[in-house]
Amino acid sequence: MRADASTTPDQACPIAPVVDLVFSRWTTPILWALNEFGRQRFVELERRIGTITPKVLTQRLRQLERDGLITRTYHAEVPPRVEYEISDLGRSLAPLFATLADWSTENLPKVEEARSAYDAGS
């Protein structure tokens, strides 16, 4: 299908909504951590991801919960405990992440070579 002036971005590229959903800043590291290491508390995720601020982590976790990609479990204890876990819907992205990890291993050195060659010719 060829895009014309009336074509929406979603029609021109049907994966655009998925890319926006999954590959927005911080989403991928959060989903990766929950998929690789299982259920985690907020502070565990914060440590594992490293440079994310608590405010941004809270925002991203809320959005991921809203999107159905993670689940949040509140334990009414003293002190209260909250745990986050990747949902079945979020886990369905694992093959995509595995494919991208393989692509990264195989092709990022080639990307770096291409960048160096381009920069040298500039």
Look at residue 3 in the predicted model and tell me its pLDDT: 53
Q: What is the pTM of this model?
A: 0.78
How many C-beta atoms lie closer than 10 Å to residue 7's C-beta? 12
Look at residue 41 in the predicted model and tell me its pLDDT: 96
What is d(CA 32, CA 102) in angstroms, rounded to the nearest whole number?
14
Q: Where are the domains of the chain?
A: 9-91
Task: Tell whether domain 9-91 is in CATH 1.10.10.10.
Answer: yes
| Mean pLDDT in consecutive groups of 10 residues from the start of the chain, 122 residues | 58 83 88 94 94 94 96 93 96 90 94 95 80
Look at residue 20 in the predicted model and tell me its pLDDT: 83
